[in-house]
Structure 1
Amino acid sequence: MTADTTAELTAEAFRQADAAAHAAGVTLRSADPSDITGILGLFNRTWGAGRGPDRSMLLALDYAGNTILVALGDGRPVGAAVGFLGWSGGLHLHSHMATVVPWRRSHGVGYALKLFQRALCLEQGVTEMRWTFDPLIRRNAHFNLVKLGAEVTTFLPDFYGRLDDAITGNDQSDRFEVRWRLDSGRVRRALNGDTPPAWSGTERLALNVDFEQLRATDPEAAIRLRTDSRLLFTNAMASGLRPEVDTDSNYVLTADAAEPA
């Protein structure tokens, strides 16, 4: 990619982030030290007190130039994201934590934050982001693989161990790691809202249940689904299959190329 093409892609990425922020009714910016208390409050509200980085860690990450981002609504923080550089398997930004206040969720704030992270990475010559998510949370699967165009690279059973936080409780912390290739055709098509491919594959996993609700109301059923899905994902990925999300927002395990011709 030429310097001119990179500059054009970066400028387009900032325009997309600005448009997403406008649609969500927020202002996005990199955090400064005065924002840290508000960001910590958002993390404590989401995961529980003491379940995120402490103030000194956030200040150090911010000072070193990592992406500590805040979304402001009516002058107050309503969303935040934290990412830091990694180089295992190539230089990338690991997007570690992101949250939005409950009354602004599903209104595009998280999407705007991700696009802002993307633009900042491209500005610095970083063309890949990675993060992890619970594969059984349907809205996250659709958001990551369809709306953003990320692709699953790894299945990580019980990655964090027992978290005992306000979201996961005592459930096992199975995670997919995804790769977001920021300058790829797959990502640009996803951000343009193009229809994703019709993935081929006979192995599937229905995501037609609110797993978070199931975990709260029927823990035994949640454990069974966790166990069954872990076996399916482990065996499928060992066989060279990759999970994608179909038009019904269910998983299909496919050998299709992640970037179709």
Structure 2
Amino acid sequence: MDADVAGQYVAEALAAADRADLGAGVITREAAEHEIEAVLARFESTWGEGRGPDHSMIRALAHAGATVLVAVADDEGGVDASATPPYAIPGELLGATLGFLGWNEGLHLHSHMNAVAPAARGHGIGLALKLRQRAICLEHGVVEVRWTFDPLIRRNARMNLVRLGAEVAAYLPEFYGVLGDEISGADRSDRFEVRWRLTSSRVLRALAGGAPPRWSGESGFALVPDFEAVRRDAAADAARMRAASVRAFTEMARQGLRPELDDAGDYVFTEAEPDAEEAR
């Protein structure tokens, strides 16, 4: 990539991350050494004690330059007027994310963990952390970020595929085995792996707020508004949904199709290119 073009991408990415910070009422940045315990506590409060890296691992990753990032409540008076009580304690660590480099199928950052305090969710902190991660990657010449997510959680699918413009690259059944953590319990750890190509037309359109294409293709899989609530309150129903999704996603992969979201927030299975501007 031409140096001037790369510099423009970096400048625009930093500006986008700063705007996201302002809207969420936080400051996102690399974690300081004295914040590692708070980062660990944020991860453990999300997934459960002992379900993430320990202090020494986070310290080593941060020292090596991996993206160990925090979102702290803005104490400099920059909070958006719409910000609400979660930001009442200036300097409080409200979110943390961890990513490290990988090189399978090309150099990329694997964004492994992203946690936000329960009381602060829904205010754009997760988005702000992702955009800061993107800016840091581009500063270092890394143009792709990957991560996995549970394909049955609709809000995550919408954030990843529509708001951020990532694309599903693979279906990974039982990727982590039985996690037994505070979120998944004994449920299967089926995941979609997404690729976030940081300077692609798809991503630039998404980050600018552009509407995604109306994807043409086969009827895919209908999502419930809150699968986590179903899993918590109606385990048998959740198990049936999971089993149906395994059949649907396995057949999708067999046919060489990709999942996208339709206007209703359900999956459609398509053969269209990820950067398509309109459905085909």
Query: What are the ranges of 5 or more consecutive residues in structure 2 without an aligned counterpart?
Result: 74-89
Runs of 5+ in structure 1 lacking a partner?
none
- 1:224 equivalent in structure 2: 240
Superposed CA deviations along residues 84-127 of structure 1, whole A, max 9, x for unmatched, are 00000100000000010011111000000000000000000000
Match of 1:115 in 2: 131
Task: Kindly state the Cα deviation for residue 76 of structure 1 after the two structures are TM-superposed.
Answer: 1.3
Distance 1:224 1:28 in 2: 39
Match of 1:43 in 2: 43
Secondary structure of 1:53's aligned partner: coil
Pair 1:182-2:208 in alignment? no
Q: 1:191-236: per-residue Cα shift (whole Å, max 9, x none)? A: 0000000000122211134211111111111111111101111111
What SS does the aligned partner of 2:194 have?
strand
Matched with 2:164 is: 148
The 5 Å alignment of 1:69-108 reads: 69-73=69-73, 74-108=90-124
1:137 is displaced (CA, Å) by: 0.3
Deviation, 1:240, is 1.2
Question: Deviation of residue 247 (structure 1)?
Answer: 1.2
The CA deviation string for residues 67-90 of structure 1, in whole angstroms up to 9 with x for no partner, is 000000111110000000000010
Q: What is the aligned residue count?
A: 261
- Find the aligned partners of 2:224 and 2:50 in 1 and give their Cα distance: 33
Moved over 6 A (4+): none
Structure 1 residue aligned with 2:220 = 204
- Counterpart amino acid of residue 150 in structure 1: A
For 1:195, the aligned partner's letter is: A
Aligned equivalents of 1:210, 1:76: Cα separation in 2: 28
Aligned mates of 1:28, 1:149 — CA distance in 2 = 21
Aligned to 2:144: 128
Q: d(CA) in 2 for partners of 1:202 and 1:66?
A: 40
Q: Match of 1:71, as an amino acid?
A: A
- 2:276 matched to which residue of 1? 260
Q: Normalising to structure 1: TM-score of the pair? A: 0.98
CA offsets 1:147-175 (integer angstroms, 9 cap, x no match): 00000000010100011100000101000
Code of the residue aligned with 2:251 in structure 1: it is N
Paired with 2:263 and 2:21, the residues of 1 have a C-alpha distance of 27
How far apart, CA to CA, are the structure 2 residues paired with 1:223 and 1:87? 35
Are positions 1:53 and 2:53 aligned together?
yes
RMSD of the TM alignment (CA)? 0.8
Matched, 1:172 2:175: no
Q: Distance in 1 between matches of 2:234 and 2:92?
A: 37
Alpha-carbon distance in structure 1 between the residues aligned to 2:28 and 2:109: 18
What is the aligned partner in structure 1 of residue 256 from structure 2?
Answer: 240
- Partners of 1:82 and 1:254 in 2: CA distance: 32
Structure 1 residues 173-195: Cα deviation after superposition (integer angstroms, max 9, x where no partner): 00000000001010000000000
Deviations 1:229-260 (A, max 9, x none): 01111111221110001111111111111111
Aligned residue type for 2:266: N
Query: Partner amino acid for 1:182?
Result: L
Match of 1:23 in 2: 23
Return the letter of the residue paired with 1:5. Answer: V
